[in-house]
Amino acid sequence: MKVIYHCYGGSHSSVVAAAVHLGLLPVDRVPTRDELLKLDYFDRMEREEHGSFRFIGEDESGNQVYVLGIEGLGDVLMRAFEGFARLYEVEENQYLFVDTLSQVNLKMRIGGWLSRSLGLVVIGRPLVISGTQDAFNRLAALGLGTRKKTARRQAERGAATGSTGRRSVP
């Protein structure tokens, strides 16, 4: 299954949730500034990359995890994705979109805008990092919850087809 975390620019909340899903960030505490900056795409996406899926990694269940920046068009795009999936007969269990924008706080919005939109990285980045740390628990819950949900689905599919599939330990 393809799991796609999405937010405004694909640079902050979605990257963090995806990283938690893939075990790239610790979940027993809030990550440090350096741990966040070590993530490939954290506060790195440019405007031209909005609308482009970025592959982050594969989880233990074999799900591919992506991030996507969709600006303010979440509703429009979800309808479009679902409509096109139906048109091309793509089964619903092949993909899952997870909205992380709802967990974004004011510091992340302002910091993200300063850093990505205006290019004022020196001011914006510390602000967005601080905001991300504030929001981390909720973002981590999103990532972990999604990982568990998709692991179960994968196991169910394995059982349904009679194969053992891959076992995953959430």
Partner 1 sequence: MKLFYHCYGSTHSSVAAAAIHLGLLPSDRRPEVAEIMEVPFFDQVADAEIGTPLFMGRDHEGHEILAIGTRGKPQLVLSAVEEFLGLVLGTPPGDLVFRDTLHLANIWVRVGGFLSRRVGLVFPGRRLAALGIRQSYPGLVELVQRTQGELGYGKPWSEAGGRRRQGRGDPREVAARPRGGDLRRNGL
Q: What is the dihedral of CA 96, 22, 151, 167, to 10 degrees?
A: 150
Closest distance between partner 1 and the C-beta of residue 78, in Å? 7
Considering the rule CB under 8 A, would residue 96 count as an interface residue with partner 1? Answer: no
Q: Which C-beta is closer to partner 1: that of 37 or that of 76? A: 76
Residue 133, burial from CB neighbour count under 10 angstroms (0-12, 13-18, 19+): middle
Residues from 34 through 93 that contact partner 1 (CB under 8 A): 50-53, 66, 68, 70-71, 73, 75-85, 87-88, 90
Taking the C-alpha atoms of residue 67 and residue 48, their distance in angstroms, rounded to an integer, is 14
Instruction: State the first-to-last Cα distance of the chain, in angstroms, to the nearest integer.
Output: 16
Neighbours of 112 (CB within 10 A): 25
Closest distance between partner 1 and the C-beta of residue 116, in Å? 15
Closest distance between partner 1 and the C-beta of residue 129, in Å? 26
Taking the C-alpha atoms of residue 94 and residue 100, their distance in angstroms, rounded to an integer, is 20
Closest distance between partner 1 and the C-beta of residue 67, in Å? 12
Total residues at interface with partner 1 (CB under 8 A) = 26
Residue 2: strand pairing partners? 64, 95
Closest distance between partner 1 and the C-beta of residue 127, in Å? 25
Structure tokens at 99: 């909205």
Contact positions vs partner 1 (CB under 8 A): 2, 50-53, 66, 68, 70-71, 73, 75-85, 87-88, 90, 94-95
